[in-house]
Structures are given as C-alpha cells and as structure tokens.
C-alpha cells in the first residue's frame, strides 16, 4: 500500500521581495512535504524585527485561518522574531502555531553534555531581547551573536541588494565562530529563517549540531501527521 500523501504545513510569510534559494523557509524545495504560503501585507522585516508589528496581529491570525482553509495542518512563520508573539497569536488561531526556531532552545539545552549550552546566531542582536526568549520558555541569558548591520543579509533584505551566497556564508560563519569561541556552546540555533542554507557549513566547520526553522518545521509537522504502519 502506498503511503498516504502528506498534508501541507502552512507558512505565514512577511511582506518581502528578496531571493529565497532552497534551504530558505520560503522555498518549497526546502521541505520534504507540501507547504502553503500566505503573505501578511505590511509586515516588513524591519517592522517585525523592531517589534513594531503589534497592530498586525489580526492580519497574522487571518493569514493562519486562510492557511487552514487551504488545507494546512499547522502553521509556522518566516521570522524568528515573531517569538515575541507566540502565545498571543497561538491563542487566537484554529491550528497549532510555532512562530520561531527559538522554541527549540529549551529542549536542545536539556540534550547537551554538562557544561554545554545552545547559542543563537541572529539577524539583529540588538533587537533580540530577553523577552523573546522568555516568551518561548528559553533562558533569557542565552548567548547571542548577530550578523553585521552592514552585512550581506541586511543589504539583501532591507536594501534590495543582489543575493550573494558567498558573502552570506562568510558573515554566518564569522558569527558562528564568535559564538563558539565562548567555549561553552554545544549547539547553534539559527534565529533567522533565511539562514538554513548555511546550517550545514556551520555544523561542518565547528562540529556542533545546528538547528533552524527547517528543523523546527520538520519536527512540528511530524506530530501533526502520523505514519500509517503496516
């Protein structure tokens, strides 16, 4: 008997226009199951990262309900900073919602050897506050290293620069290196949903597990759909 077709995971997308290669949350080929996308108009990256998106709550909920109507079995988002809205948005949606890769932190920390902890590579270290971690049950003192303000990712997302994979990889590896240099980092979590294309490079360079929005989405979807065993 052939396996049942997998139902889709819904993804609420910010209002952006930059290139999204395989590995990015917004590329269908990043996922081993079907996905559906729904854009929240006006939800720019800088607005959400800066926490100025409270008035978009109704639009985010509407996007989640639209995904449900299209057949999604659960919903994730395309920005890790939406961790700040996890409980408020989840309480209003009909489907289970996982806003951010940061939600994996409490579990990861409990899986690591003694003396080791998870650290975060983020789009903007200044904007990622202890409140984001508290909202998803993570340690507010979680180590964080941000990508450069004038780096390739900010230029891509906020200044409409061309996608430069080599420059992006250099920035991500430099941030991860600064994180690993602490000496107590046993795993890396990529906050930004545009960073999974570089997760393997970080894992291979530093010999640590790397978690991101793709690992979150795969885990989340696995519980929303069950295998039929012979």
Residue 158 maps to a domain: yes
Residue 33 maps to a domain: yes
Does residue 70 sit in the same domain as residue 154? no
Residue 132 CA to residue 100 CA, distance in Å, equals 10
Residue 128 maps to a domain: yes
Residue 115 CA to residue 111 CA, distance in Å, equals 11
Could you identify the residue written with the tokens 């390739």?
A: 152
Does residue 152 sit in the same domain as residue 192? yes
Does residue 155 sit in the same domain as residue 167? yes
Does residue 90 sit in the same domain as residue 115? no
Residue 81 CA to residue 190 CA, distance in Å, equals 11
Does residue 178 sit in the same domain as residue 205? yes
Residue 33 CA to residue 9 CA, distance in Å, equals 8
Does residue 96 sit in the same domain as residue 119? no
Give the predicted TM-score (pTM) of the model.
0.95
Q: How far is CA 114 from the centre of its chain?
A: 26
Does residue 178 sit in the same domain as residue 201? yes
What does each of the 230 residues of the chain score in pLDDT, given as a tens digit? 556 789 999 999 999 999 999 999 999 999 999 999 999 999 999 999 999 999 999 999 999 999 999 999 999 999 999 999 999 999 999 999 999 999 999 999 999 999 999 999 999 999 999 999 999 999 999 999 999 999 999 999 999 999 999 999 999 999 999 999 999 999 999 999 999 999 999 999 999 999 999 999 999 999 999 888 88
Residue 4 maps to a domain: no
Domain residues for the domain of 184 are 101-212
Residue 192 CA to residue 102 CA, distance in Å, equals 10
Count of domains in the chain?
A: 2
Residue 2 is predicted with a pLDDT of 57
Residue 2 maps to a domain: no
Does residue 105 sit in the same domain as residue 208? yes
Does residue 201 sit in the same domain as residue 118? yes
Residue 159 maps to a domain: yes
- The DSSP line for the chain is -PPPPPPPEEEEEPS--S---BTBTT-GGG-SS-EEEEE-TT--HHHHHTT--GGGHHHHHHHHHHHHHTT-S-EEES-GGGGGGHHHHHTT-SS-EE--GGGGHHHHHHHSPTT-EEEEEES-TTT--HHHHHHTT--TT--EEEPPTTSHHHHHHHH-PPP-HHHHHHHHHHHHHHHHTTS-EEEEEE-STT-GGGHHHHHHHH---EE-HHHHHHHHHHHHS-----
Residue 3 maps to a domain: no
**CATH number assigned to the domain comprising residue 94:** 3.40.50.1860
Does residue 140 sit in the same domain as residue 95? no
Does residue 106 sit in the same domain as residue 84? no
Residue 147 is predicted with a pLDDT of 98
Residue 229 maps to a domain: no
Does residue 155 sit in the same domain as residue 170? yes
């Amino acid at each position: 008997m052939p396996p049942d077709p997998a139902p889709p995971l819904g993804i609420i997308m910010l209002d952006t226009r930059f290139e999204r290669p395989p590995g990015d949350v917004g590329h269908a080929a990043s996922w081993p199951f079907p996905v559906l996308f729904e854009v929240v108009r006006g939800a720019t990256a800088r607005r959400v990262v800066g926490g100025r998106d409270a008035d978009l709550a109704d639009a985010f909920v509407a996007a989640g309900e639209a995904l449900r109507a299209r057949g999604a079995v659960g919903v994730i988002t395309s920005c890790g900073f939406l961790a700040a809205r996890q409980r408020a948005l989840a309480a209003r949606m009909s489907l289970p919602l996982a806003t951010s890769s940061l939600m994996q932190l409490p579990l990861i920390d409990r899986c690591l050897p003694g003396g080791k902890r998870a650290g975060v590579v983020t789009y903007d270290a200044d904007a990622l506050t202890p409140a984001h971690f508290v909202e998803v049950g993570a340690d507010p003192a979680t180590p964080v290293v941000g990508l450069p303000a004038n780096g390739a990712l900010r230029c891509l997302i906020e200044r409409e620069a061309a996608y430069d994979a080599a420059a992006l990889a250099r920035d991500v590896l430099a941030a991860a290196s600064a994180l690993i240099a602490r000496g107590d980092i046993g795993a890396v979590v990529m906050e930004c949903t545009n960073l999974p294309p570089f997760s393997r490079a970080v894992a291979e360079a530093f010999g640590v597990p790397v978690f991101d929005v793709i690992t979150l989405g795969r885990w989340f979807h696995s519980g929303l759909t069950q295998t039929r065993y012979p």
